[in-house]
Amino acid sequence: MTLPQRRALVASPTPPAQAAAAMLADAHDWVAPQDAELIVALGGDGFMLQTLHAMLERRKPVVPVFGMNLGTVGFLMNEWRAHGLDTRLERTKPFKVVPLAMTAVTVSGETVSLPAINEVSLLRETRQTAHLEVTVNDRIVLPELACDGILVATPAGSTAYNLSAQGPILPLGSNMLALTPISPFRPRRWRGAILPDKARISLRVLDPAKRPVSAVADQREIRDVAFVEIVIDRTRELTLLFDPEHALDDRITMEQFVA
């Protein structure tokens, strides 16, 4: 790729990420993130999500992000190396990631809209099991799901919380969403669904007073929700850059063979 000249360097507040940022500080004339044509992010997967969400919140044209792992898992990141950054950026492989748009209505009537890059999850707030009605494209598919919660995951997020909840891994570019229950109690045999990403998914809390439920869009939580609608937002496409030997699509595929 042709290297953009206006690049921003952002780093997690952790000591390893800050030390790495200091090493790269003189490698380029960095600009502020809002003025950049490309962002280099240092940290873990959580910091990468924060960086992507910050761009979405500015509602300006989003720019590609090249992440280097100074965190724990680093699934969305490349390997940290202090040298040869320009050469690596020239060889990167871009991957498009389309976020979810969550619209939640609380018990008090407040409406909150948030994007989610990995997943939207509904979770019980107390010891009481959540009772949810599940609707897909205006058709009620589960009149009552008794569970700890439920989540909707994108392909990029299917190897995160979704996988921990025994959900399917979705290949990048599959144009699918995973609808995965969390500790379902009834119906006992329902283990989730794979839906086209053009589907509109609605989740209604059946007894929000007795069985309160929160909605979480990646890292942001809305308490005491009564109704949540989730759709793909194709107007806010994101681009992640990866070293060819550590491309995101290959990582997602290989996760299916991890013991």
Show which residues are catalytic.
Answer: 45
159 is in an annotated binding site: yes
Q: Could you give the C-alpha distances from 87 to 82, 83, 221, 233, 243, in angstroms and in order?
A: 12, 9, 40, 33, 10
The DSSP code sequence of 194-257 is: EEETT--EEEEES-TTTS-EEEEETTEEE-SEEEEEEEE-GGG-EEEEE-GGG-HHHHHHHGGG
Residues paired with residue 10 on neighbouring β-strands, in sequence order: 41
Separation of CA 62 from chain center: 16
CA distance 5 to 131: 52
* Element containing residue 2 per DSSP (H, E): none
119 is in an annotated binding site: yes
CA distance 150 to 88: 39
162 is in an annotated binding site: yes
161 is in an annotated binding site: yes
148 is in an annotated binding site: yes
Instruction: Indicate the annotated binding residues.
Output: 45-46, 118-119, 148, 156, 159-164
Instruction: Indicate the annotated binding residues for NAD(+).
Output: 45-46, 118-119, 148, 156, 159-164
